[in-house]
Each structure stands twice: as structure tokens, then as C-alpha cells.
Structure 1
Amino acid sequence: MNSKKIYIALVAFFVLHQIQAQVTFKPGLRAGVSFSTFSQTRSSYKPDFYIGGFGEIKLTKVYTLQPEITFSQQGSNNVKTFINYNGVNTIQSRDLEIDYLSIAMINKFTFNGGFQFQVGPTLDFRLRDNLLYVNSDVDLAFVTGIAYRLPSGLTFEARFKKGLIDVLNSDYYGSNGNNQDYWFGDYNTNVSFQLGISYPFGK
């Protein structure tokens, strides 16, 4: 019985040692352009930027866990709507802006040739906006994307980010009955496409 326990302990030690020998950590930076809008609105995509840092925790040859902190400017341009402000309805076309500080936990899967699949959740905290009324100060979003990593570590990324929380108060950003030119739904979430680069430091 004792010999069996010793054998199990040796195997566990060996496996743990091999896992620790493969795990690496690299800090890095990422930045790029974004094209954002709100769902269920008549509007245009708002071009802007994002910038942030990350920690690349490589657990296996294929799988990497990547915590991220990112500043992103989002919103939507030319939002056609009726604005109900102090009981007065006014037709407007406005550029809406929301700045977020995002904390993400991205799972990266790297395949032969440097191609990557990226997916994970992000929690966004509102920093600034030009909205009349806001439904929520935070947004829970889901990120998915593809990337290509060069041998140097420089990575080209394309991501899609979809919020899950209704961030606008549609009681004040409303629609004009059946007039679809100014249609504004009840569930207005962040939608964003991101194109950028990232680079981890260290060997």
C-alpha cells in the first residue's frame, strides 16, 4: 500500500513539474480601430479606437489564457430618433458616445501556422458618455475573433464584440410610431467590430 502511494506521488510530482515547465507568462500591449453601433437602432457605425494591456499565460502549446484591460471608445453615429426631454418630443440625428474600461478573460487557441481562435467574456465599466439617459453603468459582453501570429509575436487580430445588457433608456430615445425612419427598439446593446495588433514582450 505504501509503495502504491509513493508511486502515485512520484507520478503526480512528475506531471506537475512538466506542466510548470511549459507555463510561461508575457505582458503585452494591444491597440487598433473599432466600428461600433447599438442594436435595434437606425444608425451608422462609429469609427474609433481601443488601446490596452494584457498578460499572456501560455498553459499548453495550443491553449493560452489572456486577461486584458482595455480602454475603448464605442457608441453609434447618426442615430435617428425622437428625443423625449422634459415632455417635449424632438426629431434628432445624434452621434452617441460611450467610453468603457473593459476587463476581459480571453481564451486563445493557436494552431499550426500561427492562426488563432479567440473567445471569452468581458466586463465593461462606463467612464464617460454624451447620452441623456443611461440604463446601465456596466456592460457584460462576449468576444470572439480570429488572429494571425507572426514568429516574432506580433499578432494581427479581428474581433466581434456583442454586449448583453440594454445600455440605453429607450423611454427617452423613442420611435415615431410606425415611421421606420426613426425606429428605435427596446433592447439596445453594444455591437463592435475591432481590427488591431497585439505584441507580447519577453522571450
Structure 2
Amino acid sequence: MKKLFAIAFILLVSMMNAQVTFKPGLRAGAAFSTFSNTRSDYKTDFYIGGFGEIKLTKIYTLQPEITYTKQGSNNVKTYIGYDENNGEDIIAYRDLEINYVSVAMINKFTFPGGFQVQVGPTIDFRTTDNLIYENSDVDLAFVAGFGYKVPSTGLTIEARVKKGLIDVIDSDYYGTNGNNDYWFGDYNTNIGFQLGVSYAFGK
């Protein structure tokens, strides 16, 4: 226990002695998303937002973010019913959309050469959607990704994965008769990938 306190004290002192800096910035790019437990295709759209880069040590930066993201899933295959006339199932393909304003707390580690690791939690607030019935207006998610800071600039190239934890769709509405070809499970979470750039202002 004494060793843990000693390590914590050394880290605290080193952070206090370090020159803490703050830079605002913008980030934007392409968003690729879908819902888990569905037969569907990824939806391609965009994200855009702002952040504050709080550099605490040479390697570690705390980065609060606010981002607007368009998410959802395309060609969601669902069972509608059975056509007694021709003896075939009636299938529908729906493009589902759900958009969020996300508040994230990203922990960014920048190593020599500009290579970065980015991880952190986010809470997402639903703004609009075309779902027939949704389960939750709020999603909790975890973000992990990599980045590359271009030398002598504020530009960073980023690639992230984002995994939601909350069931966001009321799947009881979307039909299934047990056939895996158009199966729609009970637990449908957001799954997303982001590829884009960020720019921090200031020297």
C-alpha cells in the first residue's frame, strides 16, 4: 500500500511540475455504423464536433469532446408476414437512422514519432431517428482507436471504433419467425467506426 501511495505521489508531483497546456480544436470525418444482432449493411455517414486538448504530461492528454454523429444501419432485413397466396414469406428491407450528440472523455497517449492511442467512455444523447419505436434516448459507449499527429502541425489523422452498451431498439416490433436469414435479435446495440481528422489550434 505504501508503494502505491509513493507512486501516486510521484505521478502527482511530475504532473504539477509539467507545463499543462490547453488547445481547442475541431474534428470531422466519415462514420460507418450498424446495429448488433441484425441482418443488415453498414450505414455510411459523417461526424463533426469540437474538443479541448488538455496536455498534462509529455505523453498523456485528456481530451473532452462534443460530437454530432449520424448513425444507423442500412438494408435491415426483417420478417413482415406470410403470403398465403404464393406460400412465401414477406420480407422488408429498412434503412434505419439514429443520430446522437455525444459527450466523450478521451484519454490520448502520444508516443515519439506522433503515433497515438485513444481510449475513453462516451455518453450519447439521441437527437433524431426514423425508428418505429426506440428503447432508449441515451446510449453509453466505449471508444478505442489510433491516431497519427502530423509533425509541426495541429493536424491528427484518426481511426476509432465505438461500441454501444445499451439496447437502443425495441426489437419486438421488427418481425422474425426464427429464420436466421432475417433474424432480428432482442439486444441491439450501436456499433460504429470513425475515420477522419482533427485539428488543434494554437502553438
**Which category of TM-score, normalised to the shorter sequence, fits these structures?**
0.7 to 0.9
Is the Cα–Cα contact under 8 Å of residues 15 and 56 in structure 2 kept in the other structure? Answer: no
The one-letter code sitting in structure 2 at the alignment partner of 1:161 is K
Question: Where does residue 158 of structure 1 map in the other structure?
Answer: 159
Displacement of 1:173 in angstroms is 1.5
**TM-score in terms of structure 2 length:** 0.86
The one-letter code sitting in structure 2 at the alignment partner of 1:156 is I
Cα separation, 1, equivalents of 2:139 and 2:109: 25
Displacement of 1:195 in angstroms is 0.1
Is the Cα–Cα contact under 8 Å of residues 62 and 109 in structure 1 kept in the other structure? Answer: yes
Match of 2:135, SS state, is coil
Change (3 A) 1:161 1:17: closer
Change (3 A) 1:55 1:175: same
Regions of 4+ moved over 4 Å: 15-18
Cα separation, 1, equivalents of 2:101 and 2:15: 37
Cα separation, 2, equivalents of 1:28 and 1:126: 23
Displacement of 1:198 in angstroms is 0.1
CA RMSD of aligned residues (A): 1.9
Is the Cα–Cα contact under 8 Å of residues 18 and 56 in structure 2 kept in the other structure? Answer: no
Is the Cα–Cα contact under 8 Å of residues 27 and 56 in structure 1 kept in the other structure? Answer: yes
Question: Where does residue 167 of structure 1 map in the other structure?
Answer: 168
Question: Where does residue 181 of structure 2 map in the other structure?
Answer: 181
The one-letter code sitting in structure 1 at the alignment partner of 2:172 is D
Displacement of 1:19 in angstroms is 2.2
1:16-44 per-residue CA deviation (whole Å, 9 max, x = no partner) reads 69726510000000000011000000000
Question: Where does residue 45 of structure 1 map in the other structure?
Answer: 42
Stretches of structure 2 lacking an aligned partner (at least 5 in a row): 1-8, 82-88
- What pairs up with 1:20-35 in 2 under 5 angstroms? 22-35=19-32
The one-letter code sitting in structure 1 at the alignment partner of 2:67 is T
The one-letter code sitting in structure 2 at the alignment partner of 1:28 is G
Question: Where does residue 78 of structure 1 map in the other structure?
Answer: 75
Cα separation, 2, equivalents of 1:195 and 1:17: 34
Stretches of structure 1 lacking an aligned partner (at least 5 in a row): 1-11
1:126-167 per-residue CA deviation (whole Å, 9 max, x = no partner) reads 000000000000000000000000121200000000000000
Cα separation, 2, equivalents of 1:41 and 1:96: 11
Is the Cα–Cα contact under 8 Å of residues 83 and 172 in structure 1 kept in the other structure? Answer: no
Question: Where does residue 124 of structure 1 map in the other structure?
Answer: 124
Question: Where does residue 58 of structure 1 map in the other structure?
Answer: 55
Instruction: State how many pairs are aligned.
Output: 185
Cα separation, 1, equivalents of 2:184 and 2:54: 42
The one-letter code sitting in structure 2 at the alignment partner of 1:191 is I
Question: Where does residue 96 of structure 2 map in the other structure?
Answer: 96
Cα separation, 1, equivalents of 2:114 and 2:47: 24
The one-letter code sitting in structure 1 at the alignment partner of 2:59 is V
